[in-house]
Amino acid sequence: MTTVRISDDALALACGADAVAAAFTAAGATVERVSSWGMHWLEPLVEVGGIGWGPVGPGDVQAILDGGLDAKCIGPVAAHPFIMRQQRFTFARAGKTRPLNLDDYAATGGWDGLRKAREIGPEAIVETVTASGLRGRGGAGFPAGIKWKTVAGAAGGEKYIVCNADEGDSGTFADRMVMEGDPFMLIEGMAIAAEAVGAQRGYVYIRSEYPHAIAKMQAAIAASAEIVAPFELEVRVGAGAYVCGEETSLLNSLEGKRGEVRAKPPLPAIEGLFGKPTVVNNVLTLAAVPWILANGADGYAEVGFGRSRGTMPIQIAGNVKHGGLFEVGFGITLGELVNDIGGGTASGRPVRAVQVGGPLGAYHPPSDFHLPFDYEAFAAADGLIGHAGIVVFDDTVDMAAQARFAMEFCAAESCGKCTPCRLGAVRGMEVIDRIRSGAGRQLETIERMPQMHNMPKQGRDPAEEIALLTDLCETMKFGSLCALGGFTPYPVMSALKHWPEDFGAT
Ligand code: SF4
């Protein structure tokens, strides 16, 4: 009987993978549900004996079983150029294993890292992670080994491992793919962290918008409980506030409090969850750890660029031909990602802008395509790589509207604790609205509000409004307590800098 492999991750399901699987079953084939290769433009991707077809619909099933449908055949999936160009450390199992099958996991090197960690003990684990150069993949890029060392050395018996799985950036899906496609790898990474710092309990904080990831993680935690014991793990579901991706808000939310940012110090590594020393790491950070322990720090550290060592699972999305998950060593250029790997825009029109690093990342014009994908290189170009999501726009995009969206997003997601963010984002929307409408300050507003009667009774010209927007962005950048308010100026100012014509300022 023919065995057909089809992904059961959320993206494949959204593309109709269940209906395709049902059609194969009805036609007498055996269907195996596996993780996704990350070639999202080909989902639902169907694999028979290593040969792939995609995107497949239920009507294509019989032709595939008959060995036909050449138009959708991509040949050997593992040899596809999109896969061959990658360096897959974290996503080495993607597309190859059944996510909740412990035998598949063990047969592909699963638990080797944890075994090694238990052999070498806490100090050597921390040394290995430090030597690998692994930096937090959630966006901040802080060295994981230093964080772990701080928690390991902190006083207090009870310690925690918290996995930040509150993936909320536009165009990002790597955390979701780990949790849905290779959940034991994340559990293993957390168990290694627990060995390193002496933690007894761990929490995976996932937003409610990720029901498939929640279900997979819960099932995987139950299936692997004996292997990771005495370390205990639990999934906690957040309501989906962007600011809960900030580690101190996340901890408040985990404690059942309002998801509001805490002032630092104290660092969570010293006083974190329930006031105890806590490792808070993103999914990709923890998922990179089993490979490092199993294969050694050197193999990881020798890949990368500058101070950014190892690989980064980059998520290519937006108006792009070949959207998907592309894991590669740091240093690949933005232009290679967009044009060579992404294949340019899906619309076929010229690329105008690429937003890197989520909704608070800067917009980059094609003149930035030489930038190597690296924390420092993007920071030097007034940008950030964040969680490594890139969203491509063609030449029909209105960059002033995108800038307004950044302010609107910040206003909607602000926790309200500090003024530059809470009020600045609302004022930012208003200024951009005035710029876009060319209205200047509305005189009737001044007339209507007594507290504004001392304001000049005339509209501002566009140059004044743009100066006001710039000043407001500076205030938000330097006066906000956390990254939400502090980074919102990045998309706004980059849009203004590179596309002033969209703001009426040429
Ligand atoms: S910057 Fe915004 S989200 Fe962050 S603490 Fe201030 S008000 Fe809250």
Ligand 1 proximity of 415 Cβ (cutoff 6 Å): yes
pLDDT at 373 over 90: yes
Ligand 1 proximity of 489 Cβ (cutoff 6 Å): no
User: What is the 482 CA–ligand 1 centroid distance (Å)?
Assistant: 5
What does the pLDDT look like over 106-129, one tens digit per residue?
999 999 999 999 999 999 999 999
User: What is the 416 CA–ligand 1 centroid distance (Å)?
Assistant: 6
Q: Give Dmax over CA atoms of the chain in angstroms.
A: 83
Ligand 1 proximity of 262 Cβ (cutoff 6 Å): no
Task: Write down the pLDDT at residue 456.
Answer: 56
What does the pLDDT look like over 316-342, one tens digit per residue?
999 999 999 999 999 999 999 999 999
Pocket probe for ligand 1: among 421, 473, 476, 488, the residue whose CB has the most ligand atoms within 8 Å is 421
Ligand 1 proximity of 416 Cβ (cutoff 6 Å): yes
Task: Write down the pLDDT at residue 140.
Answer: 79
Helix or strand (DSSP H, E) at 34? strand 30-34
Of all atoms in ligand 1, which is nearest to the CA of residue 421? 2
User: What is the 163 CA–ligand 1 centroid distance (Å)?
Assistant: 21
pLDDT at 458 over 60: no
Q: Would you say the C-alpha torsion 66, 69, 72, 75 has a positive or negative sign? A: positive
User: What is the 190 CA–ligand 1 centroid distance (Å)?
Assistant: 29
Ligand 1 proximity of 480 Cβ (cutoff 6 Å): yes
Ligand 1 proximity of 481 Cβ (cutoff 6 Å): yes
What does the pLDDT look like over 223-254, one tens digit per residue?
999 999 999 999 999 988 999 999 999 999 99
CB distance 211 to 129 below 8 Å? no
Beta bridge partner(s), residue 203: 162, 234
What does the pLDDT look like over 267-306, one tens digit per residue?
999 999 999 999 999 999 999 999 999 999 999 999 999 8
3-state secondary structure 383-421: CCCCCCEEEEEECCCCHHHHHHHHHHHHHHHCCCCCHHH
Tell me the pLDDT band of 452, cut-offs 50, 70 and 90.
Answer: low
Nearest protein CA to atom 6 of ligand 1, as residue:
418
Nearest protein CA to atom 8 of ligand 1, as residue:
415
Of all atoms in ligand 1, which is nearest to the CA of residue 482? 4
Beta bridge partner(s), residue 325: 315
Residue 347's contacts (CB-CB under 8 Å, 6 or more residues apart) are: 319, 394, 396
Ligand 1 proximity of 56 Cβ (cutoff 6 Å): no
Per-residue pLDDT, averaged over 372-387, amounts to: 94
Beta bridge partner(s), residue 308: 305
Ligand 1 proximity of 421 Cβ (cutoff 6 Å): yes
Pocket probe for ligand 1: among 249, 264, 480, 488, the residue whose CB has the most ligand atoms within 8 Å is 480
Look over the chain and give the mean of its residue pLDDT values, rounded to a whole number: 94
CB distance 109 to 294 below 8 Å? yes
Per-residue pLDDT, averaged over 43-55, amounts to: 97
Per-residue pLDDT, averaged over 358-362, amounts to: 94
Task: Write down the pLDDT at residue 264.
Answer: 83
Pocket probe for ligand 1: among 166, 242, 243, 253, the residue whose CB has the most ligand atoms within 8 Å is 243
CB distance 441 to 459 below 8 Å? yes
Per-residue pLDDT, averaged over 346-374, amounts to: 97
Residue type, 181: G
Over its C-alpha atoms, the chain yields an Rg (Å, rounded) of: 24
- Residue 25 backbone dihedrals phi, psi, to 5 degrees: -60, -45
Task: Write down the pLDDT at residue 454.
Answer: 65
pLDDT at 440 over 80: no
Per-residue pLDDT, averaged over 177-203, amounts to: 98
What does the pLDDT look like over 59-102, one tens digit per residue?
999 999 998 889 999 999 999 999 999 999 999 999 999 999 99
Between vectors from CA 428 to CA 423 and to CA 430, what angle results, nearest 5°?
Answer: 100
Token pair recorded at residue 28: 């007498």
Q: What whole-number percentage of the chain has pLDDT above 90?
A: 87
Please state, in angstroms and as integers, the Cα–Cα distance from residue 438 to each residue in 435, 488, 496, following that order. 5, 23, 15
Q: What is the reported pTM?
A: 0.94
Ligand 1 proximity of 422 Cβ (cutoff 6 Å): yes
Please state, in angstroms and as integers, the Cα–Cα distance from residue 363 to each residue in 327, 336, 488, 496, following that order. 22, 17, 12, 10
User: What is the 445 CA–ligand 1 centroid distance (Å)?
Assistant: 28
What does the alpha-carbon distance between residue 321 and residue 305 come to, in Å, rounded to a whole number? 27
Q: Is 503 helix (H, G, I), strand (E, B) or coil?
A: helix
CB distance 184 to 196 below 8 Å? no
Of all atoms in ligand 1, which is nearest to the CA of residue 486? 1
Nearest protein CA to atom 4 of ligand 1, as residue:
482
The two beta strands, 351-356 and 311-318, are: unpaired
Pocket probe for ligand 1: among 249, 408, 410, 417, the residue whose CB has the most ligand atoms within 8 Å is 417
What does the alpha-carbon distance between residue 107 and residue 489 come to, in Å, rounded to a whole number? 47
